[in-house]
Amino acid sequence: MNDSDWPSHLSSEELRTATIAIERPPADTLAIKNRMERAARILSQLDETPRVPSLVVVKPPLTAIRVLPIKEEMNVGRHADCDVPVPESKAMSRQHFVLRVTDGLLMIEDLGSKNGTFINDPKTRLTQSRALRDGDMIFAGEIAFLFVNACDE
């Protein structure tokens, strides 16, 4: 394909394909937009943007407390023995959730916590292991965690 020619000549076929595509209703991207604004506000509080995959511990509503690099496996909870102890919390369980790197993806699993683990939506409780997306917000008790999947891009 020759970049310098396009879009000087737009064929009827290209136009027809584009017209068909726009008949499809646009996706609702408002939730993503809100997540990005939240992430921007959290990241703006840091001295520097994380350069490795990290978890930003956030005290609601949006106060960044500290940044933790992601390890192969890390359990998170109130207890001091956790890989990520969160002594600031009163509502998290002692062992609340675990993060595991599996096939290059960061998986999160609730460890039977009393108050539950929620991803992005404080109303939808995590019931099975799932892969985290860059920018996902984990809610556990009264503490939140922003996943920042920083790496070479």
Partner 1 sequence: MHVTTRFTLIEALRNGGGASAWERFYNTYSSVVISFARRQGCDEHAALDVLQETMMVILRKLPDFQYDRERGRFRNWLMTIASNKVREARRRAKVDRLVSLDAPQEGTHPSLADQLSAETESASDNLERDWRSTLLETALRKILEDPRTNSVSITIFRQVALENIEPSEVARLHGMKENNVYQIKNRIMTRLKAIIAELETGAVSEDC
When asked if residue 150 is in the footprint of partner 1 (CB under 8 A), the reply is: yes
Report how far apart the first and last C-alpha atoms of the chain are (Å, whole number). Answer: 25
Beta strands 84-85; 97-102: pairing state: unpaired
Nearer to partner 1, 87 or 129 (CB): 129
Backbone angles phi, psi at 75, to 5 degrees: -100, 145
When asked if residue 5 is in the footprint of partner 1 (CB under 8 A), the reply is: no
Rounded distance between C-alpha atoms, residue 145 and residue 100, angstroms: 15
When asked if residue 7 is in the footprint of partner 1 (CB under 8 A), the reply is: yes
- With contacts defined by CB under 8 A, name the span among 66-74, 77-85, 90-98, 102-110 that binds partner 1: 102-110
The residue among 84, 94, 140, 88 whose CA lies nearest residue 117 is: 140
Per CB under 8 A, residues contacting partner 1 are: 1, 3, 6-8, 10, 12, 14-19, 21-22, 26-27, 29, 31-33, 35-37, 39-40, 43, 49-50, 102-105, 107, 128-131, 133-136, 148-150, 153
